[in-house]
Amino acid sequence: MAIEVKVPTLGESVTEATIGEWLKKPGDAVAVDEPIASLETDKVAVEVPSPVAGVMGKQVVAVGETVEVGALIATIEDSVSPAGDDTPAPRVKDAVAPASSTEPADDAGDAALSPSVRRAVLEHGIDPSTLKGTGKDGRLTKEDVVAAAKAKKDAPAPAASTPAPAAAGSDRREERVKMTRLRQTIARRLKSAQTEAALLTTFNDCDMTAVIEAREAYKDVFAKKHGIKLGFMSFFAKAACLALKDVPAVNAKIEGDEIIYHDYVDLSVAVSAPNGLVVPVVRDVNQMSFAQVEQAIAGYGQKAKEGTLTMQDMTGGTFTISNGGVFGSLMSTPIINPPQSAVLGLHRIEERPVARNGQVVIRPMMYLALSYDHRIIDGREAVTALKIIKEAIEDPMRLLIDL
């Protein structure tokens, strides 16, 4: 008997997804809750598990097609043996015709791939069945896929049988790639923010001397006690909490003709993922310790790299911090993350000459940028909030005495 597999509930306000990858081929044996497909939604990749143990049947939709919640995407053939017991039947090759003749017929891809490996395979366009794994029990690792992609890139292109005429000494190429659903959503939301919000950015610079000295003095004992490195993000997260407490409009949002103020801080932290920028949410940062903030951010960063962020991880958020400094940015005007009303942009630390007590000295400086929705936040409030953050970073004692 064939069991239907349908698109599961994907989360609040998410009604459709795109088939990103089939993890099982028709005829493959599958276990209960074993992922058979990967869906790309507006926010994250979601795996579809098999509801029963059996044999992969028909794939109703192809990779790249859009499906709605509850739509039929595949079937699982009942695995009960003729004797009537519950022993799963062995894999039956060619029991069901493949959904696409372009799928590799090799069995090397039968072993389940980890989420990070699957994301790497999709990102680099590598056929996993052609690779030899170097991991435990011969499993593929992300490094195997990256190495294969590099080798493929470095390999000389095959000569075309009928080369098109080209200008002497030129190597002009074009590649047309369909945007992922995540990238389409990023583009739509960012453009919507520019269109709907009255965006404005205020700047300041920040002397990082005190924070750098504090990290240097306590980094070893901090790591030993908490098992995590003491980074800059926890200082800025706690400094932001001080600012949002004193200037609540920066932690508010517009809903219809009303302003909603939050007495908590759910901090959205922009991190880089294989398919683009994602913004997981660290909840109740105002109640967290430095170590808890660092652990939460590090955990989300790892999940983003592996492609295992969930809908719950991405939902909500009242304020965003985006650190372009890790990529070398000196200054930027970040765009708010709707329906939030403000975002703090961090940048690279650079030694610059500054005046201190009538003397020119060299200090590690960082430019800070606060972009905000002028419909809800006045210029005075935005400047005040950024000044509070600057002062808390330059004098971290303020973070301890709530000043």
Report the C-alpha gap between 65 and 86 in whole angstroms: 35
Q: Crossing angle of helices 115-124/142-154, nearest 10°?
A: 10
Q: Is 374 labeled as catalytic in the residue annotation?
A: yes
In 56-130, where does DSSP find H-type helix? 115-124
Looking at the DSSP bridge assignments, the partners of residue 151 are none
Report the C-alpha gap between 372 and 379 in whole angstroms: 9
Residue 133's SS3 state is coil
C-alpha neighbours within 13 Å on the C-beta side of residue 63:
18
Task: Identify the residue whose tokens are 């400047």.
Answer: 383
Q: In one letter, which amino acid is 123?
A: E
C-alpha neighbours within 13 Å on the C-beta side of residue 26:
19
Residue 342 near residue 373, CB atoms below 8 Å: yes
Say which of 220, 263, 284, 378 is annotated catalytic: 378
Q: Is 378 labeled as catalytic in the residue annotation?
A: yes
Say which of 107, 220, 284, 374 is annotated catalytic: 374
Report the C-alpha gap between 14 and 310 in whole angstroms: 13
Q: In one letter, which amino acid is 175?
A: E
Angle, CA 99 vertex, CA 96 and CA 103 arms, to 5°: 105
Report the C-alpha gap between 33 and 112 in whole angstroms: 12
Those residues with Cβ within 8 angstroms of residue 311's Cβ, 6 or more apart along the chain or in another chain: 10, 11, 12, 14, 41, 43, 44, 46
What residues act catalytically? Answer: 374, 378
